[in-house]
Chain A
Amino acid sequence: MSMLEKISFAACVAVALSTSAMADDKNGLGTNVGLGQPITESDIKPWDITILPDGTNLPPGSGTAVVGAKLFLEKGCNACHGEGGTGGSNGAVITDIPLAGRGIEATKTIKNFWGSSTTVFDFIRRAMPWPAPRTLTDDEVYALTAFILEGNKLIPPGTVMDAKSLPQVKMPNKDGFIIKFPDRI
């Protein structure tokens, strides 16, 4: 066997094995191709932006609705989400539309539908403002999150949002979901 054939043979074995072997971690069998370059979690940090519902990976920092209200104007959020976040071409982020009684075409809102408050922080930091995403500081994202949650009456006025308080916000529709195919998870 040439070197190349050996490599691709080993690789095929790796593929064949991987499905069954993965669960109990057979890394180290020497069956993998091994072309990945090692990197440390701290070097990945700038890209590691996803927040889990239990608050895992929420950054340090904090913010309140008063600051958030100002930012909502300054950062141009109102251009697409209406004055005070209550409408606009890309939809209200603060609204009282109910979910029930409107059938399947009910409007899903942060207040009536979203199952986790962490999604608000994650999505604003990741994707907003739409024309310049990932330009907000973490404090700014906490403040905008506080503004939206407070406007939706999901937190009492003046509540500071930070890594500890945000995951504790009770979302009204948290238990409104049915897992469609539990066996696939």
Chain B
Amino acid sequence: MTKKNDITALDEVAGNGLLSRRLLLRGGVAMAGAASTLVATQGASAEPLKEPEWSRYQGTTVEPMGRRSKNEKDTTRILTNPKGEPRTQHARTPHHLLNGQITPNHLHFTILHNGIPDIDPEQHKLVIHGMVKQPIVLSMDRLMRYPMVTRQTFIECGGNSAALFSNEPVQANLQSLHGLVSNAEWTGVPLSAVLDEVGIDPKAKWMLVEGADTAAITRSVPLKKALDDAILVLFQNGERLMAEQGYPVRLLLPGWEGNMNIKYVRRIKIVDQPALTYYEARNYSPLLPDAKAYRFFFVNEVKSFITHPSFGMKLNEPGYYEISGIAYSGAGRIERVQVTADGGKTWADAAVQGPTMHKAFTRFHIPWRWDGKPAVLSSRAVDDGGNIQPLRDDFVRERGVTQKPVTNPFGFPNQHYNSLTSWGINAKGEISHVYA
């Protein structure tokens, strides 16, 4: 019947064994002939089955808070400052150990500049003032009574993937390189509904948003964005916001750099000019090679990376694998993702998981037959605004690279990297980071 090599009969759609994404579609596998050979078995026959030990006795008792399997204890975030020394703390999402599109709440990335504040929701207040007819203050009780909306969106730190500004490849795993982005379903009050109430002066152009955290983080946000799709978020994947995500209320600016999504919001001031606060005046103004800098970058542009397989994993034998990854755009909806297995010589369309959502993670998949020879995998996304994830050479030409190789994958040599991530696979099946 089916033999190991039958899989080679499948249509290759691009170099180095990329197979048609149609194989993944419903009905596709049932296609007669070549496709059904994907059911092929590899290697020696399996052992006879036995009743396992854990099926014989009553299991452990259910607890109020669910617990994941103890076998998954290593699926955790990487911390940069576990002792809480007086500096910023980062926790990165382990995308190489997750799948699907939603980031579980306890694995969502976070950055805190001066620790997590312990806020009593009954005493927390949100004030809106400045160039308005009537300044108002809202208790959390009152805010909860406004009409709410729910949407999925990613939040990405402006410094996510910054190590890839390195002139040499960076040998670090996906979590280290791209762990400062996550995707959740957020529920809260559209900011426009609350702003409607205060009567904004038509001359106003910006709002200053400030948190109740110790560092009183604050950013200037164009009113255009505030009235477009900003949300005062109260719930994260169905439960109240995690303390480290801004409990009891945070600002959500779908698709815009993480730092602007102010946590613990306590004050919104309507003004006619940006404040040039610390983080916008300094950290989030990315330097260009000629010592000029971009100001008000805001948007996390179209981007994708392959999560499976990725750095640190090993392909144990040639044969069938699925390549899968994450694509997103802060400017819209993912329309197309292409994958290469030959370092960009040829590209094939990946299957894009629908329904795709604006400014949210979109998972892509493509079947692949690895022939055991060196390969270079990479992905490239396009959004519905026609924005294309830039190739490395084009990106570097505009945005520059470091003069010395980056040795610390957690450092921030620059901001807003959205070019490709390439994984080099050697004949042993080991995976390293490469530039293709």
Q: Which residues of A does B touch, CB under 8 Å? A: 8, 11-12, 14-15, 17-19, 21-28, 31-41, 44, 47-54, 80, 89-90, 99-106, 108, 113-116, 118-119, 122-123, 126-127, 130-131, 133-134, 176-181, 184-185
Residues of B274-314 at the interface with A, using a CB-CB cut-off of 8 Å, are: 274-278, 281-283, 285-289, 291-299
CB-contact partner of B276 in A44, A101, A119, under 8 A: A119
Q: How far is the CB of A166 from chain B (nearest CB, A)?
A: 13
Point out which of B138, B165, B205, B287 has the most chain A C-beta atoms below 10 A from its C-beta. B287
Per the bound structure, the CA–CA distance linking A36 and B197 in Å amounts to 8
Provide the residues of chain B in CB contact with A127, threshold 8 Å.
113-114, 215-216, 278
Are B293 and A51 touching (Cβ within 8 A)?
A: no
Provide the residues of chain B in CB contact with A114, threshold 8 Å.
281-282
Nearest B residue to A33, CB-CB: B146
Are B276 and A133 touching (Cβ within 8 A)?
A: no
Nearest A residue to B413, CB-CB: A105
Q: A15-B193, A32-B193, A119-B276 are in contact. Are A178 and B216 (CB under 8 A)?
A: no
Provide the residues of chain A in CB contact with B21, threshold 8 Å.
none
B77 at the interface (CB under 8 A from A): no
Q: A14-B196, A52-B273, A113-B282 are in contact. Are A33 and B147 (CB under 8 A)?
A: yes
Provide the residues of chain A in CB contact with B271, threshold 8 Å.
52
Q: What interface size band does chain B fall in?
A: 35 or more
Are B208 and A50 touching (Cβ within 8 A)?
A: yes
Are A19 and B227 touching (Cβ within 8 A)?
A: yes
Q: How far is the CB of B272 from chain A (nearest CB, A)?
A: 9
Are B414 and A105 touching (Cβ within 8 A)?
A: yes
CB-contact partner of A103 in B214, B266, B403, under 8 A: B403
Provide the residues of chain B in CB contact with A31, threshold 8 Å.
196
CB-contact partner of A115 in B129, B190, B269, B276, under 8 A: B276
CB-contact partner of A50 in B135, B222, B269, B288, under 8 A: B269
Per the bound structure, the CA–CA distance linking A14 and B200 in Å amounts to 15
B243 at the interface (CB under 8 A from A): no
Are B192 and A18 touching (Cβ within 8 A)?
A: yes
B400 at the interface (CB under 8 A from A): yes
Q: How far is the CB of B279 from chain A (nearest CB, A)?
A: 9
Provide the residues of chain A in CB contact with B402, threshold 8 Å.
103-105
Q: How far is the CB of B132 from chain A (nearest CB, A)?
A: 9
Are B135 and A22 touching (Cβ within 8 A)?
A: no
B70 at the interface (CB under 8 A from A): no
CB-contact partner of A27 in B199, B294, B299, under 8 A: B199
CB-contact partner of B145 in A19, A21, A33, A185, under 8 A: A33
A sample of 26 inter-chain contacts (CB < 8 A) reads A11-B146, A18-B190, A18-B192, A18-B193, A22-B195, A22-B196, A22-B227, A25-B201, A25-B202, A32-B196, A35-B143, A36-B136, A44-B127, A50-B210, A50-B277, A103-B401, A105-B165, A106-B291, A115-B295, A119-B277, A122-B277, A127-B278, A130-B86, A181-B297, A181-B298, A184-B299
Are A39 and B146 touching (Cβ within 8 A)?
A: no
Q: A33-B147, A50-B277, A185-B205 are in contact. Are A133 and B291 (CB under 8 A)?
A: no
B73 at the interface (CB under 8 A from A): no
Q: How far is the CB of A137 from chain B (nearest CB, A)?
A: 17
Residue-wise interface mask of B (238-279) relative to A, using a CB-CB cutoff of 8 A (1 in contact, 0 not): 000000000000000000000000000011010101111110
Are B293 and A113 touching (Cβ within 8 A)?
A: yes
Q: A12-B147, A47-B127, A104-B413 are in contact. Are A184 and B222 (CB under 8 A)?
A: yes
Are A104 and B414 touching (Cβ within 8 A)?
A: yes
Are B133 and A185 touching (Cβ within 8 A)?
A: no
Q: How far is the CB of A175 from chain B (nearest CB, A)?
A: 9
Q: How far is the CB of A125 from chain B (nearest CB, A)?
A: 9
Provide the residues of chain B in CB contact with A27, threshold 8 Å.
133, 196-200
Per the bound structure, the CA–CA distance linking A33 and B196 in Å amounts to 9
Are B129 and A35 touching (Cβ within 8 A)?
A: no
Are B295 and A15 touching (Cβ within 8 A)?
A: no
B137 at the interface (CB under 8 A from A): yes
B373 at the interface (CB under 8 A from A): no
Are B127 and A22 touching (Cβ within 8 A)?
A: no
Provide the residues of chain B in CB contact with A34, threshold 8 Å.
197
Per the bound structure, the CA–CA distance linking A159 and B403 in Å amounts to 39
Q: A38-B135, A104-B399 are in contact. Are A176 and B202 (CB under 8 A)?
A: no
Q: A18-B227, A36-B197, A185-B205 are in contact. Are A177 and B293 (CB under 8 A)?
A: yes
Provide the residues of chain B in CB contact with A41, threshold 8 Å.
129, 135
